[in-house]
């Protein structure tokens, strides 16, 4: 077991808060694309797996074509040099469980990197590997959290056809239910992505998941118009309208207690998490309808992207590499404080860069004093306005 004692937890809080609100020089969140490989073929994939894309171009997303994936021993070195404020690491892909060493990679980020949580986004096609990772976190890191986000976007047959894997819906759903039983620090979510390929059936899929499949925790997203995926012109309004309609069902189901809060936390933490999500949804809805600068972006400051072969990027939307960790002997913080990253931070600030990239918004909100105040206000209203059942 690798539990942190209360004193250790307290000693981490102040540097993290200082970094988040004042200094902003150390990453709190990292999205690591552990591989560009995938066994599915989704048409909305920004890697282009569902489309006729040249293999060389496909493997070039977040890495140089042909470059080898970072090995476990390289990642173990890297994990030691991510700074004192690392909070969450998102292991993504491609399909991350195609890497047989994903469990060891997770262990490196939790044990050597000190991350408080891991978030793994998977298509759910490797149930045994997912369960093994869940058991490892439950046994070895009971004070940390594993979020297992499993994609289910459509009704069963349509989902399997869209992803090109027979039986995937059932497999992914079984993974969700089995992993939920592992331990309280393993939190499983179903993620439903609305795109031009499922917007007609997305609401039916949502109701099927909640009413018939026993899903208790669900998040929503919209296919991002980037990478090798270009959304068809003319359908944006309908896709957005579907997303907002399903968001309405989701809010209603959460209020009625049919769905849990995404964090599954309780007490004050859950209230603050809910308040952050509400604020984020409001900002994103406004931003999709009327794009414009409202908040400083903390990409390349509080969070960043690590590609499969070690290239580092500020976010998934700006394809300008800040360098490769292999050239910095895996000293991530050295790369983060070097001139390219500094120039990127200046560019983001001076261009007042803005977008609807959800992963950035979490950190943008947390690093803004005004938004923290708004979250506290929202949280207070929620707690005053409902019967007290916790904490």
Task: Give the one residue of 318, 325, 335, 378 binding ligand SF4; rule: CB under 6 A.
Answer: 318
Annotate the chain with three-state secondary structure: CCCCCHHHHHHHHHHHHHHHHHHCCCCCEEEEECCCCCCCCCCCCCCCCCCCCCHHHHCCCCCCCCCCCCCHHHHHHHHCCCCCCCCEEEEECCCHHHCCCHHHHHHHHHHHCCCCEEEEEECCCCHHHHHHHHHHHHHHCCCCEEEEEEECCCCHHHHHHHHCCCCHHHHHHHHHHHHHCCCCCEEEEEEEEECCCCCCCHHHHHHHHHHHCCCCCEEEEECCCCCCCCCCCCCHHHHHHHHHHHHHHHHHHHHCCCCCCCCCCCHHHHHHHHHHHHHHHHHHHHHHHCCCCCCCCCECCCEEEECCCCEEECCCCCCCCCEEHHHHCCCHHHHHCCHHHHHHHHHHHHCCCCCCCHHHHHHHHHCCHHHHHHHHHHHHHHHHHCCCCCC
Region from 59-67, 73-81, 126-134, 313-321 binding ligand SF4, contact rule CB under 6 A = 313-321
Residue 128 CB, nearest distance to ligand SF4 (Å)? 18
Binding residues for ligand SF4, rule CB under 6 A, total 24
Build a one-symbol-per-residue string for 40-79: x at contacts with ligand SF4 by CB under 6 A, - elsewhere.
xxx--x-x-x------------------------------
The reply to whether 95 sits near ligand SF4 by the rule CB under 6 A is yes
Tell me, residue by residue from 282 to 301, as one string, x for binding to ligand SF4 by CB under 6 A and - for no binding. ---------------x-x--
Among 28, 30, 31, 38, binds ligand SF4 (CB under 6 A): 38
Q: How far is the CB of 296 from ligand SF4 (least distance, A)?
A: 9
Supply the minimum distance, in Å, between the C-beta of residue 43 and ligand SF4. Answer: 9
Report the nearest approach of ligand SF4 to the CB of residue 317 (Å): 4
At closest approach, how far in Å is the CB of 255 from ligand SF4?
A: 30
154 is a site residue for ligand SF4 (CB under 6 A): no
Report the distance separating Cα 117 and Cα 356, nearest Å: 23
Residue nearest to ligand SF4 (CB): 45
The closest of 84, 91, 74 to 34, measured between CA atoms, is 91
Restricting to residues 193-212, name those near ligand SF4 by CB under 6 A: none
Per-residue contact string for residues 157-176; x = within reach of ligand SF4 by CB under 6 A: ------x-------------
Q: Does 273 bind ligand SF4 (CB under 6 A)?
A: no
CB of 315 to ligand SF4, least distance (A): 3
Member of 35, 123, 277, 287 binding ligand SF4 (CB under 6 A): 123
Touching ligand SF4, residues 333-362 (CB under 6 A): 348, 353-355, 357, 360
Question: To the nearest whole angstrom, how small is the minimum distance from the Cβ of residue 233 to ligand SF4?
Answer: 21
- Provide the binding-site residues for ligand SF4, judged by CB under 6 A: 38, 40-42, 45, 47, 49, 93-95, 123, 163, 297, 299, 314-315, 317-318, 348, 353-355, 357, 360
């Amino acid at each position: 077991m690798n539990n942190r004692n209360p004193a250790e937890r307290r000693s981490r809080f102040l540097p993290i808060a200082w970094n988040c609100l004042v200094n902003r020089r150390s990453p709190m969140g990292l999205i690591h694309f552990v591989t560009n490989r995938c066994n599915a073929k989704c048409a909305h994939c920004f890697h282009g797996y569902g489309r006729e894309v040249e293999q060389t171009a496909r493997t070039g997303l977040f890495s140089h074509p042909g470059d080898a994936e970072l090995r476990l021993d390289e990642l173990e070195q890297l994990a030691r040099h991510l700074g004192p404020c690392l909070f969450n690491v998102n292991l993504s892909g491609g399909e991350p469980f195609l890497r047989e060493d994903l469990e060891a990679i997770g262990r490196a980020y939790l044990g050597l990197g000190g991350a408080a949580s891991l978030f793994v986004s998977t298509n759910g096609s490797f149930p045994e590997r997912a369960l093994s990772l869940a058991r490892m976190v439950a046994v070895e890191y009971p004070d940390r959290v594993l979020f297992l986000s499993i994609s289910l976007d459509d009704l069963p047959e349509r989902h399997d056809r869209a992803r090109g894997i027979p039986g995937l819906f059932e497999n992914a759903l079984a993974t969700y239910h089995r992993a939920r039983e592992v331990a309280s620090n393993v939190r499983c979510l179903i993620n439903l992505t609305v795109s031009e390929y499922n917007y007609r059936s997305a609401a039916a899929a949502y109701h099927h998941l909640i009413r018939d499949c026993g899903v208790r925790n669900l998040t929503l997203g919209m296919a991002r118009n980037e990478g090798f995926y270009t959304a068809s012109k003319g359908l944006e309004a309908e896709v957005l309208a579907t997303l907002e309609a399903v968001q309405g069902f989701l809010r209603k189901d959460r209020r009625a207690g049919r769905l849990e809060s995404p964090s599954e936390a309780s007490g004050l933490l859950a209230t603050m998490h809910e308040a952050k999500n509400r604020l984020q949804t409001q900002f994103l809805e406004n931003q999709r309808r009327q794009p414009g600068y409202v908040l400083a972006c903390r990409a390349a400051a509080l969070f960043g992207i690590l590609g499969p072969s070690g290239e580092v990027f500020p976010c998934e939307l700006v394809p300008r590499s800040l360098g490769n960790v292999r050239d910095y002997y895996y000293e991530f913080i050295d790369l983060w404080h070097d001139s390219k990253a500094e120039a990127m931070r200046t560019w983001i600030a001076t261009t007042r860069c803005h977008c609807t990239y959800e992963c950035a918004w979490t950190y943008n909100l947390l690093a803004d004093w005004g938004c923290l105040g708004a979250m506290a206000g929202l949280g207070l209203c929620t707690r005053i306005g409902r019967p007290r059942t916790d904490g």
